């Protein structure tokens, strides 16, 4: 973490990345610092182990296995399996999760964790005063149900209702990263739970690139429909209470999207503005091609492009007066553009 609480590195997934990895956390003059090829960039620190990590549930499970965290956020992952991978090639092409799908199925990670068990851990976790500011909830996409995604939605509603019992207020600090639900499903999510914010990751802001990169999402929901559902979510949850994740850089080259960074910048900015106008912000992570993803040999764009587009997304967020306090440097710390909120 940086000294202001910005988290910059969460976990080491063990995957090999192609990009240069210049940063080293080093001990210089008895201080932990981030260095880039011997140049000291900034003082850093490790985040403290949460108190609940030392506890067990009533059935004897280690609480740290059931709920992870970032410095100031609980990370509740109901399941680590994404059902877009049920169809061969249906998952997103840069995604390392699907490649581990078979392994996860074997380990039973396709099963959803019992909401009561999750709430037992949260009840212990929130006893640590001043530590946690938000609860993030997610699962991989679950396509089954009476209508598409109903099983995923029903799980989240059940879980959020249970979590709501820990709070005295109707709504509580929370973010759900779900698949893009239709209006009826979004209304249920808002009306039946105390959820405060909603995220559905469109991954890339260009229809051609989306269709090539995310065949499952394209087949079951579609690009235009995904955008429409984000806008509906902002009507229901409120402007600035909805965002969408982007894997920035996937829109350029590699036979997927734009040929030049300038063309990508112009088109992506335009679509981001259309969403911002409707009350939806973007949360842009930096694409790092993973050696276990389908696009393992891909090349990502220049650092200059990443900086330029991050600044543009921040400019749009301010222009349309969208708060991003459910997904900023303290809650997530994964998106350079929303992390710029720390400077204002």
Three-class DSSP category at 62: strand
The candidate with the shortest Cα–Cα distance to 57, out of 105, 121, 128, is 121
Question: Min. distance of Cβ 143 from ligand SF4 in angstroms?
Answer: 11
C-beta of 194 vs 216, nearer to ligand SF4: 216
Strand pairing of 174-177 and 23-28?
unpaired
Mark the segment that binds ligand SF4 (CB under 6 A) among 32-40, 49-57, 93-101, 298-306: 93-101
Under 8 Å CB-to-CB from 153, ≥6 apart: which residues? 145, 178, 181, 185, 188, 189
Question: Min. distance of Cβ 161 from ligand SF4 in angstroms?
Answer: 25
Question: Min. distance of Cβ 154 from ligand SF4 in angstroms?
Answer: 19
82 binds ligand SF4 (CB under 6 A): yes
Long-range contacts of 34-41 (CB under 8 A, 24+ apart): 34/8
92 binds ligand SF4 (CB under 6 A): yes
One character per residue 207-226, x = contact with ligand SF4 (rule: CB under 6 A): -------x------------
The candidate with the shortest Cα–Cα distance to 95, out of 138, 136, 137, 140, is 140
Number of residues near ligand SF4 (by CB under 6 A):
10
Mark the segment that binds ligand SF4 (CB under 6 A) among 16-24, 38-46, 91-99, 182-190: 91-99
84 binds ligand SF4 (CB under 6 A): yes
- For the CA atoms of 169, 171, 176, 181, what is the dihedral angle to 10 degrees? 140
240 binds ligand SF4 (CB under 6 A): no
CB 331 within 8 A of CB 175: yes
Q: Which of residues 293-312 bind ligand SF4 (CB under 6 A)?
A: none
CB 244 within 8 A of CB 177: no
CB 275 within 8 A of CB 227: yes
| Region for residue 144 given its phi and psi (left: phi exceeds 0; alpha: psi -120 to 50; beta: otherwise) | beta
Choose, by CB under 6 A, the member of 115, 140, 178, 301 that binds ligand SF4. Answer: 140
199 binds ligand SF4 (CB under 6 A): no
173 binds ligand SF4 (CB under 6 A): no
C-beta of 200 vs 306, nearer to ligand SF4: 200
C-beta of 72 vs 185, nearer to ligand SF4: 185
Three-class DSSP category at 125: helix
Question: Min. distance of Cβ 147 from ligand SF4 in angstroms?
Answer: 19
CA distance 56 to 218: 42
Choose, by CB under 6 A, the member of 71, 78, 98, 336 that binds ligand SF4. Answer: 98
Exposed/middle/buried for residue 207 (C-beta within 10 Å: 0-12, 13-18, 19+): middle
Choose, by CB under 6 A, the member of 67, 97, 137, 309 that binds ligand SF4. Answer: 97
Choose, by CB under 6 A, the member of 95, 176, 189, 280 that binds ligand SF4. Answer: 95
Residues that bind ligand SF4 (CB under 6 A): 82, 84, 91-92, 95, 97-98, 140-141, 214
């Amino acid at each position: 973490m940086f000294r202001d609480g910005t988290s910059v590195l969460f976990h080491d997934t063990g995957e090999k990345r192609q990009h240069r990895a210049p940063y080293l956390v080093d001990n210089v003059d008895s201080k932990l610092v981030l260095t880039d090829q011997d140049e000291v960039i900034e003082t850093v620190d490790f985040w403290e182990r949460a108190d609940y990590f030392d506890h067990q549930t009533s059935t004897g499970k280690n609480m740290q296995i059931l709920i992870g965290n970032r410095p100031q956020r609980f990370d509740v992952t109901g399941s680590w399996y994404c059902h877009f991978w049920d169809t061969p090639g249906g998952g997103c092409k840069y995604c390392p999760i699907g490649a581990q799908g078979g392994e996860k199925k074997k380990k039973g990670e396709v099963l959803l964790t019992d909401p009561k068990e999750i709430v037992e851990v949260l009840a212990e976790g929130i006893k640590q005063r001043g530590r946690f500011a938000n609860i993030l909830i997610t699962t991989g996409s679950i396509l089954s149900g009476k209508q598409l995604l109903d099983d995923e939605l029903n799980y989240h509603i059940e879980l959020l209702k249970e979590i709501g019992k820990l709070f005295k207020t109707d709504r509580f600090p929370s973010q759900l990263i779900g698949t893009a639900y239709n209006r009826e499903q979004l209304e249920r999510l808002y009306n039946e739970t105390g959820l405060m914010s909603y995220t559905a990751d469109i991954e890339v802001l260009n229809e051609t690139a989306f269709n090539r990169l995310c065949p499952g999402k394209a087949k079951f929901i579609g690009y235009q429909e995904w955008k429409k559902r984000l806008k509906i979510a902002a009507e229901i949850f409120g402007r600035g209470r909805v965002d969408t994740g982007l894997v920035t850089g996937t829109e350029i080259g590699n036979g997927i999207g734009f040929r030049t960074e300038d063309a990508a910048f112009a088109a992506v900015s335009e679509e981001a503005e259309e969403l911002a106008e409707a009350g939806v912000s973007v949360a842009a992570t930096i694409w790092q091609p993973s050696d276990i993803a389908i696009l393992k040999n891909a090349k990502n764009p220049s650092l200059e492009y990443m900086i330029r587009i991050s600044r543009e997304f921040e400019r749009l967020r301010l222009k349309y007066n969208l708060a991003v306090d459910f997904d900023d440097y303290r809650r997530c710390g994964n998106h350079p553009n929303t992390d710029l909120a720390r400077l204002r």
